[in-house]
Amino acid sequence: MTADTDRRGRSRILLLLHSHLPYVPASRQGLTLEETWLYQNLTECYLPLAMMLRELSASTTPFGVTVSLSPTLLSMTQNPGHIRGYRRYLDMLFRLLSAKTVMRDSDAAGARAHLERRVTEIRRRFDEIGGHIVDEWRSLARDPRITFITTCATHAILPAYRFSTSLVRLQVETGLRYFESALGFRPDGFWLPEMAYYEGLDSVLRKCGIRYTFLDTGGLYGAGLPPAHGCFQPYVTESELLLFPRDAELSGAIWSAREGYPGDFRYREFHYDYTWSLTESELAAENIGRMPAGLKLYRITGGDTPKQFYDPREAANAVTSHARDFIRRVSMRAASISEIAGITPLFTLPFDAELFGHWWYEGPEFLQSVIEAAAHSNIECVTPNFFTAEGTYSRLLPTESSWGRNGAFETWLNPECEPIYHRIADLYTRLIRTPSSGPMAKAQQCAFRELLLAQSSDWPFFIAWKTSADYGRLRLREHLDAAETILRGMEAGTINNAYLLERERRYPLFVGTPGKPPCESD
């Protein structure tokens, strides 16, 4: 690869933040636990990251960041019901911060004042953009230093559907079309849900117009002899799809709660929520139960040590220290690789965006510190566009892989969920045989939407890890039963329009988007 003279010899970081949440309905009254997934991430992750990118974009700092936005997340942030719900959530959070139990706890005063300032700042920014974070993302996309891409319609784990190229393409094409309708352009890159790859997927992606994607380390080394440049350079498949393999070592320094930076005791505690300390009457006043509502006032406390309150000054010192340490690690690793392999390495570092701010409260500040420190070092933060614009790359035949437990899909293709994939296959086979025009067109579109929602990789993940397992089972059953109900009506020649409208009201995404996939028959 040929680079500009002033870039020669600089090691590179390709930082990707994959932003995704499964679609959860907006409640008309009260607050559901599932809604807090979106509202807490807006407060702690999505808005702080957008504000951080806005600050960088307004500067002359050389940097590159890639952000993946899932269609389900885009849909929720555009839905008026969720926008209203988020405003109600922020109002509730302010009231909880003023609850008598919190106010009486003098030890909590500093942490409480900090959180109140932060929520005020977030609320102000949310109001400034009129509640439309998609507009903010669209504006940021005008900066060539920031690249936005997308993923499958409902974050389906694609190897589970390899039996049907058209079903895979339905997920991919629906995702691409929805992203384009939201941000105004079709992305060149694509995030594989759970980084799950199977042989031949590169050809499917290229036919959809995708130029590049990201690969877990196992997909690089699982075929026998490792490629000459390891995971430190891009590769190209036979279908001319550019692959960026993940560097597990540097990624682990950031995401690992035990060995990485987020586990430092100076950082804010994620798991313990002060809401659990409120009285029954205080909770009843907000119509919520004992749930993690986002009232996080403690710092990480190890073992049996009594909980200690968060000190933002100590956390800020930790951010500065860890950002410097990370740059040092990158420099040392780059020097070692250059000496051994004779190349200037690229470190591809993909993360779930929710790590930065939600799971790791100080994450956005850490990222900004790393980016600014890199600008004053021999490290360059780049986007995939730098590599698609120039250079030739070694060929690679990647092997099947994913991230997650053992890197082999087992988290999602677990025994309890296996029958679900068979049922989806049966429903899809029947659906593609139904008429796609005339009176049946609306019903078919609704059935496809239910089938797409059933394919979310989140539901089997919840079941496999015993986190919200009942909710995962509930959503799978709901969408598959709804698809079955609609399909049986179509097969009998009767359409229940009231039922279709109710399902569309509850899940108002992809309306007018999904249909029969534009590809060859299976």
pTM of full prediction above 0.85? yes
Domains and CATH numbers, the chain: 21-263+312-405 (3.20.110.10), 414-506 (1.20.1430.10)
Answer yes or no: are the C-beta atoms of 431 and 250 closer than 8 Å: no
Residues in the chain predicted with pLDDT less than 70, given as ranges, are 1-9, 222-226, 257, 303, 389-391, 406-407, 512-522
pLDDT of 253: 87
Q: Which residues of 201-238 are buried (b: 16+ CB within 10 A; e: fewer)?
A: bbebbebbebbbbbbbbbbbbeeeeebebbbbbbbbbe
pLDDT of 29: 77
Token readout for 71 is: 């269609």
Q: Which of 230, 256, 132, 219 is nearest to 182 (CA)?
A: 132
Per-residue pLDDT of 490-507, as tens digits, reads 999 999 999 999 999 999
d(CA 200, CA 165): 10
d(CA 395, CA 393): 6
d(CA 420, CA 410): 14
Residue 446 φ/ψ region, left for φ over 0, alpha for ψ in the -120 to 50 degree band, beta for the rest = alpha
pLDDT of 388: 79
